[in-house]
């Protein structure tokens, strides 16, 4: 397997609408437009990097040129046109990366191209990536073509920065907003690829990669490739993954909270010391701890437990730990962690700043016990 491992992002670029992950609102609309012959001539695809904009543009180009389109509005994948798309040899698709080709001349070239009708197939599709990077002059040179395009021309403009697109362009395009892709969807997709590539894995590891990718499927695939390469043909494990990505094992958060509940301040401080010695940053730690408190709070109620985005396995640990902690403790601790986070950058001694927060947290259980006692006493007297 390892010898011929190729970059997953390229190998697994979806070839049809139904393989695009997490953008159903877009693929369904496009398929309906094809079906009803209501295709716009200019589209604006907006959204973060690596979520399928270029992919969808290429699928659209391939599908509307397919000689044998299927009933579900997918390309057949086998006709002459589909094959030329697959081999990147179709003359009916033209891609311009405006990030590096943003001069008036580049656009004039494109506009010249648009004059020629396709020799084969029905449509010519022009994709202009990062269209917000076009110079003003280039924009103007393009505007007329965008306003009165020949019937066979379809423009797909893509951008990661919608706010930079001028109103003249916005008003002439059908706008599609691409989503960040959810952790669940990304990890399922990684699972699918790992199985196809016969790569062994722990689900926890894939989930971590999915989290790290922050909604971008392409990033998830490159991280996955990296970890597979490191693991040298062995299993992709959670531990390997946190090591390679330099992520703090969430086990530490469980340990810290256990020690806080036990009011064992020394243990808490020693764990924090260990974390710093491993080269982790105090600020990341306190942010991670805040998230951990949040997850514990969310795990308190069966109605919200689904809001913690972790594997089944990890969920059980949250459920256990939250049993052992009171809601008031978790809320107050979260509050202290949050204050620590807010003031971290201005603290002179940042280590002490975090330690102080941990000290306060470790006194919470006792404070709540005393408060409860006092309340009971008051009740007895009344």
Ligand X SMILES: Nc1ncnc2c1ncn2[C@@H]1O[C@H](COP(=O)(O)OP(=O)(O)O)[C@@H](O)[C@H]1O
Which residue from 15, 20, 64, 157 is in contact with ligand X, where contact means CB under 6 A? 20
Residue 209 contacts ligand X per CB under 6 A: no
Residue 23 contacts Mg ion per CB under 5 A: no
Q: Which of residues 49-88 bind Mg ion (CB under 5 A)?
A: 53-54
22 makes contact, choosing from Zn ion, ligand X, Mg ion, none, with CB < 5 to 8 Å by partner type, with ligand X
CA distance 131 to 164: 9
Query: Which neighbouring-strand residues pair with 162?
Result: none
The residue (of 176 and 250) whose beta carbon lies closer to ligand X is 176
CB of 216 to Mg ion, least distance (A): 11
Two structure tokens written together for 51: 């979520």
Residue 290 contacts ligand X per CB under 6 A: no
132 makes contact, choosing from Mg ion, Zn ion, ligand X, none, with CB < 5 to 8 Å by partner type, with none
The residue (of 158 and 330) whose beta carbon lies closer to Mg ion is 158
CA distance 281 to 250: 15
Match 């396709």 to its residue by tokens: 118
Long-range contacts of 259-265 (CB under 8 A, 24+ apart): 259/362, 260/333, 260/358, 260/361, 260/362, 260/364, 260/365, 261/324, 261/325, 261/329, 261/365, 263/362, 263/363, 263/365, 263/366, 264/362, 265/358, 265/359, 265/362
CA distance 90 to 75: 14
Query: Which neighbouring-strand residues pair with 174?
Result: 43
14 makes contact, choosing from Mg ion, ligand X, Zn ion, none, with CB < 5 to 8 Å by partner type, with ligand X
Near ligand X by CB under 6 A, which window of 213-221, 231-239, 244-252, 325-333? 213-221
CB of 181 to ligand X, least distance (A): 6
Alpha helices in the chain (DSSP H): 8-11, 24-35, 53-65, 80-86, 104-114, 136-147, 167-170, 183-196, 203-212, 217-230, 238-245, 251-261, 265-277, 282-299, 312-324, 327-343, 350-381
CB of 6 to Zn ion, least distance (A): 25
Residue 215 contacts ligand X per CB under 6 A: no
62 makes contact, choosing from Zn ion, Mg ion, ligand X, none, with CB < 5 to 8 Å by partner type, with none
Residue 49 contacts ligand X per CB under 6 A: yes
SS3 for 66-107 is: CCCCCCCCCCCCCCHHHHHHHCCCCCCEEEEECCCCCCHHHH
Q: Total binding residues for Mg ion by CB under 5 A?
A: 2
Q: Total binding residues for ligand X by CB under 6 A?
A: 20
Which residue from 23, 27, 73, 145 is in contact with ligand X, where contact means CB under 6 A? 23
Residue 14 contacts ligand X per CB under 6 A: yes
Which residue from 26, 42, 44, 51 is in contact with ligand X, where contact means CB under 6 A? 51
Crossing angle, helix 217-230 and helix 183-196, to 10 degrees? Answer: 40
305 makes contact, choosing from Zn ion, Mg ion, ligand X, none, with CB < 5 to 8 Å by partner type, with none
The residue (of 187 and 290) whose beta carbon lies closer to ligand X is 187
Residue 226 contacts ligand X per CB under 6 A: no
Contacts with ligand X, residue ranges (CB under 6 A): 9-10, 12-14, 20-23, 49-55, 181, 217-218, 221
């Amino acid at each position: 397997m390892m010898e011929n491992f190729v970059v997953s992002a390229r190998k697994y670029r979806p070839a049809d609408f139904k393989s695009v992950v997490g953008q159903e609102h877009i693929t369904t609309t496009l398929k309906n437009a094809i079906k009803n012959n209501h295709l716009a001539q200019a589209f604006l695809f907006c959204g973060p990097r690596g979520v399928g904009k270029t992919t969808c543009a290429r699928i659209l180009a391939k599908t509307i040129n397919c000689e044998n389109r299927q009933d579900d509005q997918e390309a057949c994948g086998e006709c002459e046109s589909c094959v030329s798309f697959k081999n990147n040899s179709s003359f009916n698709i033209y891609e311009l990366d405006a990030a590096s080709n943003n001069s008036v001349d580049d656009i004039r070239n494109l506009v010249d191209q648009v004059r020629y009708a396709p020799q084969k197939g029905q449509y010519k599709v022009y994709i202009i990536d990062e269209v917000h990077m076009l110079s003003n002059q280039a924009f103007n040179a393009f505007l007329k073509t965008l306003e009165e395009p020949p019937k066979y021309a379809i423009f797909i403009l893509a951008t990661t920065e919608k706010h930079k697109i001028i109103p003249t362009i916005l008003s002439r395009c059908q706008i599609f907003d691409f989503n960040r892709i959810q952790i669940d969807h990304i990890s399922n997709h990684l699972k699918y690829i790992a199985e196809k590539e016969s790569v062994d894995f722990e689900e926890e590891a894939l989930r971590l990669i999915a989290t790290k990718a922050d909604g971008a499927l392409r990033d998830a695939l490159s991280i996955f490739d990296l970890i597979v390469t490191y693991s040298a043909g062995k299993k992709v494990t959670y531990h390997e993954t946190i090591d390679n990505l330099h992520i703090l094992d969430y086990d530490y958060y469980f340990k810290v909270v256990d020690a806080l509940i036990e009011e064992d301040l020394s243990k808490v401080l020693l764990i924090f010391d260990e974390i710093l010695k491993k080269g982790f940053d105090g600020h990341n730690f306190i942010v991670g701890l805040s998230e951990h408190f949040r997850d514990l709070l969310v795990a308190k109620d069966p109605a919200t437990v689904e809001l913690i985005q972790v594997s089944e396995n990890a969920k059980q640990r949250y459920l256990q730990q939250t049993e052992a902690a009171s809601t008031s403790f978790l809320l107050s601790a979260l509050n202290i962690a949050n204050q620590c986070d807010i003031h971290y950058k201005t603290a002179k001694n940042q280590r002490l700043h975090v330690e102080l927060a941990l000290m306060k947290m470790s006194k919470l259980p006792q404070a709540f016990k005393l408060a409860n006692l006092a309340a009971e006493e008051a009740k007895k007297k009344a």
